[in-house]
Structure 1
Amino acid sequence: MEQRKFQMPTAYTILFCLILLVALSTWFIPAGSYDYADGIPISGSYHAVAPAPQGIGAALKAAFRGFYDAVDVCVFILMVGGFLGVVMKTGAIDAGVSNVISRLQGRENLLITILMLFFGLGGTTYGMWEETMAFFPLLLPIFLAAGYDAVVGVAVILLGAGAGVIASTVNPFATGIAAGFAGVSLGEGLLWRLIQFVIFEGAAIWYVSAYAARIKRDPSRSVVGIGAGRLHADVGRVQPLTRRHAAILLIFAATFLTMIYGVIPFDEMGLPLPVLGWWFPELSALFLVAGIVVGLMDRLSEVELAETFVSGCTDLLGVAFIIGISRGITVLMNDGHITDTILHWGETALSGLGSTSFVLLVFLIYLPLSVLIPSSSGLATLSVPVVAPLGQFAGVGGDVVVTAFQSACGLVNLVTPTAAVVMGALALGRIPYEKWLKFVWKLILLFLLLTGLLLVLAAALS
């Protein structure tokens, strides 16, 4: 008989198992609570409270209660999905990239830098990741026809966007959600994330460009090989960038710039600019209105606009599900009065550690957690409410914890086999998983070292 290979369960199964595990743990972990001041636990104030073990009924209802608890986040994510669905429907994104390709034909080395910056900006601002799947069929033939291998085409997109996601400056799916649960504003730690973005995106561009130049000179050095079966692109058939497409791209950019402006607390940063104080309800309305405006600009009918927007929402429904289920774990822990007990254990364990040791340990812990739960938003919902308060005891601000969290999530998602984008991209490029690891491991190691140095500096100066 053929033995079945082990297959990593989905994030949904992992989260439901964690719900059952947490419910069971409420029967064994002592119940306790801290005294709080402005939402922050007071060190040394932990005391025992009456136990409240959670049964099977509470476990079954936990995911639904998690949705109620995080409904603003879930609705916002669906609105972003609808907006992106409408924009992709118009063809403006494809036309914009195609226009760049046609203008730079024969200068693909410059194209590598431009496209990686484009994807990097998308990754750092709104967590552009799943959306990159639309670009692989468009860009892979271009790089293959230019004499590169499939690894270059995949790396331009994956590492370009991935470096941006690692340094998620204002990414609402990672930094925004994590900052909310950590009790800090999105503007706190922004300078460190901007520095991280510049360094990491620059390193990724250098890494891919150096590899591309190397195999251009000597194709035998390709990790997958360049053979006669490579594809060719007809750039003459590339979709032109119309005035309507250009206008839609302006609305697309303006929407995310408005989002960025709306959530930044300029007063806390000492800048004399009006503060909008927007959060998930306002941002949801922004993306809903922007999606309608883009649809009308493209002259979509009322039926087509509605169906396209709903279809876009569906694309991110899984993310909303994961957030709700993840939040259910926190609900169970709170109802069972074990959250503060775990915080107390953490306070005791970390009492001898300084800020540097603490933030490095948080980063290392998040690496394996990101493999089990590839959704950054889901992992933020699950863990940050527990981890961030521990930083208060070690003298580490919530913004530094958020940076450690987002860096680990973004880094792991470049290589983990549980990430659908990575495996889908490799399948489109016909790149074996082990060949991708052979290509990218040195950059991953560099990112690890740079992240550790950045966190040490941020913790020391926080």
Structure 2
Amino acid sequence: MPSEHDTAPDPERVRASRFPTAYTILFLLIVLMAVLTWIMPAGQYDQVMDEALGQEAPVPGTYHTVEPDPQGLLDVLMAPIAGFYDPAEYVANAIDVSLFVLVIGGFLGVVNATGAVSAGIERAIGGLKGREKWMIPALMALFALGGTTYGMAEETLAFYPLLIPVAIAAGYDAVTGVAIIMLGAGVGVLGSTINPFSTAIASDAAGIPFTRGMGLRLVILAVSWLIAVVFVMRYAERVREAPDRSVVAERKAENEAHFLKGHEAAREAVLSGRQKIVLIVFALTFVVMIWGVSSQGWWMAEMSALFLGSAIVVGILGWMGEKKMTSAFVDGARDLLGVALVIGLARGIVVIMDKGMISATILHYFEDRISGMSDIAYVNALFWIEGLLSFVVPSTSGLAVLSMPIFAPLSDFAGVGRELAVTAFQTAIGITNLIAPTYAVVVGGLAIGRVPYERWLVFIWPLLLLLVVFVSAALSVAALL
């Protein structure tokens, strides 16, 4: 007979079960935005075509109210659908990202069916024995390099299923694996140097060359990376020494069963020649993806085709047979179906805002509040405003085009260089996009890592505080110089 203690519910799991899932949180945000379209006045700025940006940009001082279009029940229900594919193009469609995620799942399903990844991870962890913690700064540096140079974001979703099992096998937890990727690329975007989707577009919209302010951004990149690395390494070592200190300690057994499936057998197995070839193809796939994105202009369609082709090659090399290969692909895609759905829901929030025409109204409200401030007050207010705006416009390029044509001229009146306004923008959205539930990369990465959103907030809030204090200090000093 089980004792009363054995049957008592785990308090951590009970508390976690009361917190809504990511699906519910995102849908409630859609409802909230729909309610705001009934309360807030609808408005817009006059738009002019910016040839350099290749799209329309708002004209400062031209905000005006328009006929409201309050969003009703049908609009709320349609928003997640339009988030995937919006024929009216109120927001960038999520269908390409969602399909990319499903194809990655299929690719990983085929690779995992060969047993090559499990065996390879076991060999890698064995080789790192006693030095596992040093993989954290090395990997975070690589992801930060991708973030600062070409805005690595959605592409990181391919790495979560690969690195999280490595982190868990090394004695850490799923949060450590998620943090290595999300914080690594995140601080790179926060300290963007030549990132075309952040610094370049924002500078162009502000009417300045993107090289202005480069020195400050390099300092912010280096110090932010160091702060994040120390934070993750300290957390990871605490978890390895005392697993119950993990913010997802109640999910330890569940996550190990999910991410380390097949690893027990892999510890005794010998890595065969065929599995070594599969691992080479596996690694080359990611190398080709990075090359294609950074130098060939690839996006989701091309990356999806790459992973599909690699899945076929792996299936052939692994002598899996047609039925086993297709079954493994479908099962792998099924594992990431929830991630694909979350991405569409997140985009649905912006659909509602844009259809209800309240995005410009929110921007105009902040425009009025910061006019006439002193230089230090202005740059810090701009930092916070851009951070708040990025919750509802999580796209770096989208927010740059929306806000910079308005705030850059205001910077002139405040005596703040436009390059500092650009830096305030990119650091603000870089920090916000580490936690924004409207950002597909955040909700997608957490879903793949099986890390509940509220647990991620518990983990990351001290780091956010450190980054905000540091960035605010850096912006203030720069404003004085």
Change (3 A) 1:7 1:180: farther
Residue 88 in structure 1 maps to residue 112 in structure 2: yes
Which residue identity does 2:21 align to in structure 1?
T
Change (3 A) 1:121 1:409: same
- Of the three residues 1, 11, 16, the one matched with 2:27 is 16
> Is residue 42–residue 356 contact of structure 2 (8 Å, CA) maintained in 1?
yes
Residue 41 in structure 1 maps to residue 54 in structure 2: no
Change (3 A) 1:411 1:331: closer
Partner of 1:58: 75
> Is residue 58–residue 332 contact of structure 1 (8 Å, CA) maintained in 2?
yes
What is the alpha-carbon distance in structure 1 between the residues aligned to residue 324 and residue 435 of structure 2? 38
> Is residue 43–residue 361 contact of structure 2 (8 Å, CA) maintained in 1?
yes
TM-score by length of 2: 0.63
- Of the three residues 362, 365, 368, the one matched with 1:342 is 362
Which residue identity does 1:48 align to in structure 2?
T
Unaligned runs of 5+ in 2: 1-8, 51-55, 87-92, 147-151, 205-209, 247-262, 409-417
Give the CA deviation at 1:309: 2.0
Change (3 A) 1:87 1:41: farther
Give the CA deviation at 1:379: 7.8
Identity %: 32
Which residue identity does 2:322 align to in structure 1?
E
Give the CA deviation at 1:334: 2.3
Give the CA deviation at 1:344: 2.0
> Is residue 80–residue 348 contact of structure 2 (8 Å, CA) maintained in 1?
yes
Helix, strand or coil at the partner of 1:410: coil
The CA deviation string for residues 118-145 of structure 1, in whole angstroms up to 9 with x for no partner, is 57647966243455443455332xxxxx
Partner of 1:112: 133
Partner of 1:329: 349
Change (3 A) 1:135 1:32: same
Residue 357 in structure 1 maps to residue 388 in structure 2: no
> Is residue 78–residue 317 contact of structure 1 (8 Å, CA) maintained in 2?
yes
Give the CA deviation at 1:43: 1.0
- Report the aligned-residue RMSD: 5.1
Say which is worse superposed, 349-358 or 287-296, in terms of deviation: 349-358
Unaligned runs of 5+ in 1: 141-151, 225-232, 265-274, 370-377, 426-432
Give the CA deviation at 1:68: 1.0
The CA deviation string for residues 433-461 of structure 1, in whole angstroms up to 9 with x for no partner, is 89x97x98876655555555677799999
> Is residue 109–residue 331 contact of structure 2 (8 Å, CA) maintained in 1?
yes
What is the alpha-carbon distance in structure 1 between the residues aligned to residue 85 and residue 236 of structure 2? 49
What is the alpha-carbon distance in structure 2 between the residues aligned to residue 179 and residue 309 of structure 1? 38
- Of the three residues 31, 44, 57, the one matched with 2:42 is 31
The CA deviation string for residues 164-218 of structure 1, in whole angstroms up to 9 with x for no partner, is 2433569xxxx9999999899xxx89x99998776666556656777999999xx
Give the CA deviation at 1:409: 3.8
- Of the three residues 307, 313, 317, the one matched with 2:337 is 317
Change (3 A) 1:168 1:202: closer
What is the alpha-carbon distance in structure 2 between the residues aligned to residue 322 and residue 183 of structure 1? 32
Helix, strand or coil at the partner of 1:98: helix
Matching of residues 144-155 of structure 1 within 5 Å: none
Partner of 2:301: 281
Which residue identity does 1:250 align to in structure 2?
I
> Is residue 370–residue 381 contact of structure 2 (8 Å, CA) maintained in 1?
yes
What is the alpha-carbon distance in structure 1 between the residues aligned to residue 178 and residue 41 of structure 2? 45
TM-score by length of 1: 0.65
Number of equivalent positions: 397
Change (3 A) 1:401 1:306: farther
Change (3 A) 1:35 1:257: farther
Partner of 1:139: 170
> Is residue 295–residue 305 contact of structure 1 (8 Å, CA) maintained in 2?
yes
Change (3 A) 1:306 1:329: same
Partner of 1:389: 402
